[in-house]
Amino acid sequence: MQLTALKFAPRVVADLIPSSPLGRSSLAFVAGALTVLAFAPFSLYLLAIATSALLFLLWLDAAPAAAFREGWMFGAGLLGVGVFWMHISIDQFGNVGTLLAMLITALFSASMALYFGAAGWLAAKLCQVGSGLAGKLLSFCLLWVLFEWLRGWLLSGFPWLSLGYSQIDSLLAGWAPLFGVYGVTLAVTLSAAALIGLMLLDGRRRLPFLVLLALIWGGGALLTGQEWTTAAGKPLSVTIVQGNIAQQEKWKRENLQPTLDVYTGLTRQHWSSDLIIWPETAVPAFISQVEQGFLAPLSLEAEANNSTLLLGIADWQAGDKYYNAMLALGAERAVYRKRHLVPFGEFMPLKPLLQPLIDWLQIPMSDFSPGEKGKPLLNLAGYSAGISICYEDAFGAEVTEALPEAALLVNASNDAWFGDSLALPQHLEIARLRALENGRYLLRATNTGISAIIAPDGGVAAASPAFEQHSLSAFITPMQGVTPYARWGNWLVVCFALAGLAMQLMRRTGFRG
């Protein structure tokens, strides 16, 4: 049976929607899977609008249970395909075998897809009370943003593949310094809603949707290139060292000295740089183990060359705790300890209950402690820098905590866990949006790639080739000032979505105050 909302629609639109539950669910899954092509490295950013519009078409006349199923299938397609690379680390370093690693990854993706299902269920519930096409579509957009935000922090959070990241190279990226990634997601979903209005309506009824589309994209165009921050000092010369040490070889004791030789050899070619950065856990040892024979002499060497060296290393402290850390050497010595750890990768939730699983998986360096809360700042080459380690740069609100003091941003990562997969360009895409949100250069140092120097507008000023030893050097400008997003974080978008949904609900229930 055709959807009543589509009965006057052009035939080609109505034919998009199958009549059977299986057909509708399959269409939702395919739409989610195709959405992966909107993200790096494919960057077909308009596809994110088309696929979310297709899901909205499914939701228009769906009962709550059907909307949940279709939303869940969309999420399963998006995450099941988009983060399937997670099985690589589970397989190679988790001691479980390929089939079980793939099953664990599938179960994780299925659980994260529940956010999409919940958004669909609640949308259908809210829209059971009479409302027009515009009201329904607006509810879909606002709920999508709210549940994407929830996915980004609830139970430690997994914000990967938020729709806003797909737009880093589109005009919609202009909204990022104002409202962050979730604001860009809202622009994507509103564009999808406008597209549906243009397809389903005719004549003058199309005008509001056409105006909405013009405002979203025209506003993004006007904001693109807007400079929200200004130079804070003279340019700095920086070098990012990419050692390209295979993950399976990294923690073998016999490879410690060869690894140190690789990094020091590449570094000594660039002592003229003001700042040199090594990636996450570039030194596969604890600080105390290599202090006298390696770190102390290297610090003196950096100081003698008027350079600052920032390197990744594990830090063992009293109380049998160890941290994933970045250590600054040179004239000033300081350490940043990673605060937001990866569940099951860097720490085990419910450890007393899951100890047998920990022993079985045998993932190296998987029992870190979180660093202390506070501004993630280090003084590097005379400027305050906002530091994040690996996964931390996926949390925009945490990165902004370094502002306004930070004149630049640094992210040290090790994506070697995931081989030659979509994880590498996807992670770079996330880092690009962080730079744009905050109006700062972001220096990204990785073990196997993709290391990059990212400009305040989110553009990649320079990048290292993946899976090669490489030193990336350039001049960057320290920046000052704050973007609206850096000042207000995600709350502008979240409060807007909540207020919009409250108004929709009051209007539909006849509330007059």
Tens-binned pLDDT, residue by residue, of the chain (513 aa): 344 445 445 555 556 788 899 999 999 999 999 999 999 999 999 999 999 999 999 999 899 999 999 999 999 999 999 999 999 988 887 778 899 999 999 999 999 999 999 999 999 998 876 568 999 999 999 999 999 999 999 988 999 999 999 999 999 999 999 999 999 999 999 999 999 999 999 999 999 999 999 999 999 999 998 999 999 999 999 999 999 999 989 889 999 999 999 999 999 999 999 999 999 999 999 999 999 999 999 999 999 999 999 999 999 987 778 899 999 999 999 999 999 988 766 665 555 555 565 555 555 555 788 999 889 999 999 999 999 999 999 999 999 999 999 999 999 999 999 999 999 999 999 999 999 999 999 999 999 999 999 999 999 999 999 999 999 999 999 999 999 999 999 999 999 999 999 988 887 766 544
Asked if the structure places residue 402 within a domain, the reply is yes
Residue 338 bears catalytic tag:
yes
Asked if 73 and 196 sit in the same domain, the reply is yes
- The active-site residue out of 127, 136, 390, 392 is 390
Kind of pairing between the strands at 236-242 and 275-277: parallel
Asked if 289 and 351 sit in the same domain, the reply is yes
Residue type for 262, please? V
Domain that holds residue 500: 4-78+114-227+490-508
Whether 31 and 51 have beta carbons less than 8 Å apart is answered as yes
For the chain, the first-to-last Cα distance in angstroms comes to 40
Residue 70 bears catalytic tag:
no
Count of other CB atoms within 10 angstroms of residue 339 = 20
The CATH code of the domain that includes 443 is 3.60.110.10
Residue 390 bears catalytic tag:
yes
Contacts of 411 (CB under 8 A, 6+ apart): 387, 388, 389, 390, 392, 393, 431, 434, 442, 443, 444, 445
Whether 40 and 428 have beta carbons less than 8 Å apart is answered as yes
- Tokens 């022993």 correspond to 359
Distance, CA of 385 to CA of 45 (rounded, Å): 31
- The first and second tokens of residue 161, run together, are 């593949």
- Tokens 């088309």 correspond to 50
DSSP conformation class of 343? B
Asked if 166 and 209 sit in the same domain, the reply is yes
Asked if the structure places residue 171 within a domain, the reply is yes
Asked if 169 and 69 sit in the same domain, the reply is yes
pTM for this prediction: 0.93
Provide the phi-psi class of 455: left if phi over 0, else alpha when psi is between -120 and 50, else beta.
Answer: beta
Contacts of 157 (CB under 8 A, 6+ apart): 151, 394, 395
Asked if the structure places residue 200 within a domain, the reply is yes
Kind of pairing between the strands at 321-329 and 334-337: antiparallel
- The active-site residue out of 148, 338, 346, 401 is 338
- Please give the backbone phi and psi of residue 116, each rounded to the nearest 5 degrees, phi first: -70, -40
Number of folded domains that form the chain: 2
For the chain, the farthest-separated pair of C-alpha atoms sits apart, in whole angstroms, at 78
- Tens of pLDDT, residue by residue over 433-480, are 999 999 999 999 999 999 999 999 999 999 999 999 999 999 999 999
Count of other CB atoms within 10 angstroms of residue 389 = 28
- The first and second tokens of residue 323, run together, are 């941290």
Asked if 216 and 263 sit in the same domain, the reply is no
- The active-site residue out of 70, 148, 280, 346 is 280
Whether 468 and 447 have beta carbons less than 8 Å apart is answered as no
